[in-house]
Amino acid sequence: MTATENAPSRAITARLRGVHKSYGPVRVLDLPELDLYAGQVIGVVGENGAGKSTLMGTLAGSVHRDGGEILVDGRPLVAGSTEAAAQLGIAMVSQEFPLVGQLSVAENLLLGRRPRKSKRRLLVDRAAQRAEAEAMLAEIGLSARTIPVSREVRTLPVPTRQMIEIAKAWGREPKLLILDEPTSSLGPVEAEMVLGLARQLAERGGTVLFIGHRLDEVRDISDRVLVLRNGKLVADLEPAEATEERLIREMVGGEVAQGEPKAPPATSPVLLRVEGLTADGLGPVDLEVREGEILGVAGLMGSGRSRLVHTIAGAQPSTGGRMLLGGESYHPRGAGDGVAAGIALIPEDRKEQSLVLFASIRSNVLVSVLKRISTRGLLGPGRERAEARKIAENVNVRMQSVEQPIGSLSGGNQQRAIFGRAFAAEPRLLLLDEPTRGVDVGAKAEIYKLIDRAAEQGMAVVAASSELEELLWICHRIAVMNHGRVVTVIDRADATKERIMTAAAGTSALERKTPDQEELTNGATA
């Protein structure tokens, strides 16, 4: 397209041919052909899961590509080796800062190497280390007074750590600098500094890959904007073409697979009412969910989707506001209170938060009902197997026996088993966080059916998801979050991807607050 055609003779920093990567059956990155030109800042945008991070990781060596060739300045890049990438001049600033908290700023900046000016081979030359660290910070425009290099890194706030990461990458004098949402944890002054550095490197003939979710920022800084969707490069735009509307349209895709618009069950009683709920990085939030209703929660990474769900479940402490569950005051002091009140939470990370992978299907699905199926606290193997089979068959888990390790099932089957476990506890309120993460397309549809069934049986469902199609498919209403608050609630009939994205991207960058930053340190959960 345009950017490519206009500059046929430009020097190429990195040439990607047929690069692809799959996780299980899901192809998360598929780039037949992509050239990154020297002297450019290249913006990369896309929805969550569009393949941005995979692309970056592939270039930086932290993701092992399945196939294809990458040439950096004509030299081939070995797959999956961070050292090889570093040797070819690729540096990445990721959102999870690989810093050693217990060491000083200077030691982190020079981690794994000696100061260049030091003559000592074995002994630490603190003076030289200090001097070089200060010089590295000065290179990116920070004085030693702003960041004392002898401080332990963990005593410094998140934005400072981000700047240290940037100084570290900058100090390697990269040819290709990858910045993964570098400004999301920074204040405006530092954000400006980082953008300046990106420009500076481009002017020197380097290349910057700039991933961002503030579309205006990406467009302003970039000489070229790439849009990824479902692992594919769907648009390659000049900054002038890359209007916010155009980018959103490309990101979400032309046609939207729409489900049958569902009318919210306006007549059923309200099950959960949330008033002024606040928690770390959340709120205040007001919400209502009716029995038999599926409420979607949309928002960008760090918007507080997952926090909202966790706070309602009692898994994250609330700091204010109140909740009414079935008309009664509900104030959970832990996840146990949530369960006791009839709430089931299906968290986003199956492996870490839901399952004991090496244990049997039986012991995994019975966790929620042990008390009910036991007789005076005792359990028998026959009873257990029968109950487990009932639970698994209820949600159509395909298995050989309930005794096989649950980790041997496919992702979709595992997720169904988790739904079965949740249903077995007969909850009133079902909370979902990324209900179909890591599940292939066919299995997704079956999970949507389970969610529908839950609602038909009268459960209230709150589903947080980064996939808009999913929300449009399953929900009666969609609450859009931005910076810890619900900015709007859209009825299914009026909801479009564009409308949700616009609300989620929010307004100016200056209003950003600490919740996002907190979230970045936890490395985490949107």
Q: Exactly one of 111, 127, 441, 493 binds other proteins (CB under 8 A); which one?
A: 111
Beta strands 75-76; 67-72: pairing state? antiparallel
Of the listed pieces 121-129, 222-230, 329-337, 369-377, which binds other proteins according to CB under 8 A?
A: 121-129
Task: Round to whole Å and give the CA distance between 306 and 526.
Answer: 5
Q: Does 358 bind other proteins (CB under 8 A)?
A: no
Task: Round to whole Å and give the CA distance between 456 and 459.
Answer: 7
Is 339:425 a contact under the CB 8 Å cutoff? yes
Task: Round to whole Å and give the CA distance between 398 and 379.
Answer: 25
Q: Exactly one of 40, 160, 184, 368 binds other proteins (CB under 8 A); which one?
A: 160
Q: Does 101 bind other proteins (CB under 8 A)?
A: yes
Which C-beta is closer to other proteins: that of 122 or that of 257? 122
Task: Round to whole Å and give the CA distance between 103 and 94.
Answer: 19
Which C-beta is closer to other proteins: that of 185 or that of 316? 185
Of the listed pieces 4-12, 93-101, 197-205, 422-430, which binds other proteins according to CB under 8 A?
A: 93-101
Q: Exactly one of 114, 232, 389, 449 binds other proteins (CB under 8 A); which one?
A: 114
Is 373:330 a contact under the CB 8 Å cutoff? no
Q: Exactly one of 124, 127, 340, 441 binds other proteins (CB under 8 A); which one?
A: 124
Task: Give the list of residues 6+ apart from residue 138 with CB closer than 8 angstroms, or none.
Answer: 144
Q: Give min distance, CB of 102 to other proteins, in A.
A: 4
Q: Exactly one of 142, 169, 300, 500 binds other proteins (CB under 8 A); which one?
A: 142
Q: Exactly one of 49, 159, 321, 338 binds other proteins (CB under 8 A); which one?
A: 159
Q: CA separation (Å) from 350 to 161, 176, 315?
A: 30, 35, 16
Q: Exactly one of 133, 163, 233, 313 binds other proteins (CB under 8 A); which one?
A: 163
Site string for other proteins, 64-83 (x = CB under 8 A): ------------------xx
Of the listed pieces 110-118, 268-276, 300-308, 314-322, which binds other proteins according to CB under 8 A?
A: 110-118
Token output for 500: 């949700």
Q: Does 410 bind other proteins (CB under 8 A)?
A: no
Q: CA separation (Å) from 216 to 45, 187, 222, 247, 506?
A: 11, 16, 10, 10, 11
The number of residues that bind other proteins (CB under 8 A) is: 36
Q: Give min distance, CB of 221 to other proteins, in A.
A: 19
Q: Does 90 bind other proteins (CB under 8 A)?
A: no
Q: Does 98 bind other proteins (CB under 8 A)?
A: yes
CA angle 156–160–165, rounded 5-degree value: 115
Task: Round to whole Å and give the CA distance between 218 and 182.
Answer: 11
Task: Round to whole Å and give the CA distance between 410 and 24.
Answer: 9
Q: Does 146 bind other proteins (CB under 8 A)?
A: yes
Provide φ and ψ at 31, rounded to 5°.
-120, 100
**H-helix or E-strand spanning residue 284:** strand 282-290
Residue ranges that bind other proteins, judged by CB under 8 A: 82-83, 86, 98-103, 107-108, 111-114, 122-124, 142, 145-148, 151-152, 155-157, 159-160, 163, 186-190
